[in-house]
Amino acid sequence: MSVDFASVWNIALDWMAHGLWQLSWWQLLLYALVTTHVTIAGVTIFLHRCQAHRSLDLGPVPSHFFRFWLWLGTGMVTKEWVAIHRKHHAKCETEDDPHSPQTRGLDTVMRQGAELYREEAKNAETLRKFGHGTPDDWIERHLYSRHSIWGPSLMLVINVLLFGAIGLTIWAVQMAWIPFWAAGVVNGLGHFWGYRNFEAQDASTNLVPWGLVIGGEELHNNHHTYPTSAKFSVKRYEFDMGWAYIRAMQAVGWAKVKKTPPRLVMGAIKPVADEKTLEAVIANRYEVMARYARGVRAAVQFELDALKQRKAQQADLSLLRTARRWLHRDADKVPAQAQDQLAQARAAHPVLDQMLVMREELRQLWLNTSLSREQLTAHLQAWCHRAEASGIAALKEFSVKLRAAHA
């Protein structure tokens, strides 16, 4: 029996060109996008929200699916990822933060994010201290953790068999997806550039309001403000794709949400702030300060309009416009190069200076842990009285609304 080598060669060439499935270009693109999106969903829902922060419980079906898929599509070990992420929150923006662009540089985190993870995964102390509570069953010990490289290797074989030579390119995209988007973009740009809804204690930012590409991880400032929340979106115009999937799983009994962002409940305006008002203010302090920041920005705009009406010098306008970026920030978040401009702006605009002084006084309600509940309530009452007697419209309006806060 003779072998027709020409036929075998043609079959091999056809397989390398098209694979077993012989998909069109748009079908290959769709496959790549769907599989990478499933990987993103696994990272944000299972690794991040469920395992690292315990903000929800997942049933056995989604848990085992995500564990298998992340092994297949990334080779990441759950305990290592969780431990490194928890350490990032515990040591955020310090030299001990495994991947902060504030200490390591944005370029390093963007280009070497995956390498930073691998390096920290070798730290036994990190795994011991921060890796508790992760899966430790038979399949984790004998396959997922012990043979993590087998997953991506199997994915490579599957891709090449199904799609031929182009399967190598698809596999490369799948393997680079998390290192680029999560380890690079979120951990890098998410602590360097974007907008902030809340004055969190770190440099976290929201990249865009719509968490579609990275499953909601784009809303990084929201997450760092409320790290134990299963939901990352907090504004009406924000969208968290990961939360949409969680709600869908919740509807079929596959997920149980433990915590979402607190909501500042407003009721009837009380004549005087009381202990319930204090409780509401402290519990919702980030939202309270965000609302105060809006008042500061309104006061800044009023001062700018007044300068324009007086036809003030351009230097005065430029000074206030430059300082506007920092007027609503905590003092320790203002960079050294902006301190002088901020001080000049405050000296030139007593209204803004008084608002910043009273902002710091308001913060002491939750920063001062040495006072009793009764003393803090008295301080809040005195603060509201001074705010409403200040003659500053933004302060008075804020204080009146604050007295409507309910626990």
Q: How far from 368 is each of 251, 262, 317, 395, CA to CA, in Å?
A: 42, 22, 37, 22
Q: Are strands 265-266 and 255-257 parallel, antiparallel or unpaired?
A: unpaired
Provide the pLDDT for residue 332: 79
Name the DSSP class of 342. Answer: H
| 8 pLDDT more than 70 | no
Provide the pLDDT for residue 69: 98
- H or E stretch at 257: strand 255-257
Nearest CA to 106 out of 177, 167, 194, 38 is that of 194
Amino acid at 115: E
> Which residue's structure tokens are 């696994």?
42
The predicted-structure confidence for 142-189, as pLDDT tens digits, reads as follows: 999 999 999 999 999 999 999 999 999 999 999 999 999 998 899 999
The predicted-structure confidence for 33-92, as pLDDT tens digits, reads as follows: 999 999 999 999 999 999 999 999 999 999 999 999 999 999 999 999 999 999 999 999
Give strand pairing partners of 57.
Answer: 256
Provide the pLDDT for residue 91: 95
Provide the pLDDT for residue 325: 84
Whole-structure pTM value: 0.90
| 15 pLDDT more than 80 | no
Q: Are strands 210-211 and 239-240 parallel, antiparallel or unpaired?
A: parallel
Q: Are 132 and 199 in contact (CB under 8 A)?
A: no
The radius of gyration of the chain from alpha carbons, rounded to an integer in Å, stands at 27
Q: ∠ CA(160), CA(63), CA(216), 5° rounding?
A: 80
| 3 pLDDT more than 70 | no
How far is residue 3's CA from residue 394's CA, in Å, rounded to a whole number? 89
- The answer for residues whose C-beta is within 8 angstroms of residue 399's C-beta and 6 or more apart is 383, 384, 387, 388
What tokens were used for 383?
């603060």
The predicted-structure confidence for 289-343, as pLDDT tens digits, reads as follows: 999 999 999 998 988 888 888 887 888 888 888 888 888 888 878 888 888 888 9
Q: What residue spans define the domains of the chain?
A: 5-257, 275-406
